[in-house]
Amino acid sequence: MDDETLDDETLDTENNNVISLASGKPDKLTAKQAHFSRLCAFGGEDGRGLSQSEAYRRAYNAEKMSDHAVWTEASRLFLNPMVARRITALKARQEGAALRSGLSLRQHIQRTLYHLTEQGENDAAKLRACELLGKLTDVAAFTDRVEQVAADVSPEEVQHELVERLKKAFGE
């Protein structure tokens, strides 16, 4: 069984069930409830979830229902604890995958640039790869840094140093 652990439940990705860690039992949803949950979590063309009403219309036979009836039933379904847990689990899984894909993309770019620094077609390509690699946040080779050095100096010593520098500056 391929599972992903969430806060207080596990998403069995093989069977697409949410398993409560408190009871150890899976939330059994009907096929339409599971479809509604997926549509709410990430059913839109952009990968985002659909509205509750739109998800309900697509998951259920709602052609003859009024908008108000669809809204009411979609809200009721959305508030069903098992459906709500499934939607939360699916969104959490999607967010985790997005984070992993962003990280893997950054790592791929870093590996590719490193490879190009050694195996580039010519010196200009190698130099450009070095430059881009140096600009990555993890490397930050071209970031200006300011160092602050703290010295334990008494106020009297600071005053004496200032007086000496002023005398020197004004020629006294």
Whether pLDDT at 140 is above 60: yes
Scanning the structure block, which residue is given the tokens 């069977």?
15
Q: What is the pTM of this model?
A: 0.49
Helix (H, G, I), strand (E, B) or coil at 171: coil
List the strands of the sheet with 26-27, edge to edge.
3-5, 9-12, 17-20, 26-27
Under 8 Å between Cβ of 50 and 43:
yes
Please compute the mean of the pLDDT values over residues 55-60 and round it to a whole number: 95
Q: Stretch 52-60: mean pLDDT, rounded?
A: 95
Give phi and psi for 10, each to the nearest 5: -125, 140
First to last CA, the chain: 86
Q: Is 115 helix (H, G, I), strand (E, B) or coil?
A: helix
Residue whose entry in the numeric block shows the structure tokens 């791929």? 108
- Which neighbouring-strand residues pair with 20? 9
Q: What's the pLDDT tens digit per position in 75-127? A: 999 999 999 999 998 988 888 877 777 777 777 788 888 888 888 889 998 88
State residue 153's pLDDT score. Answer: 81
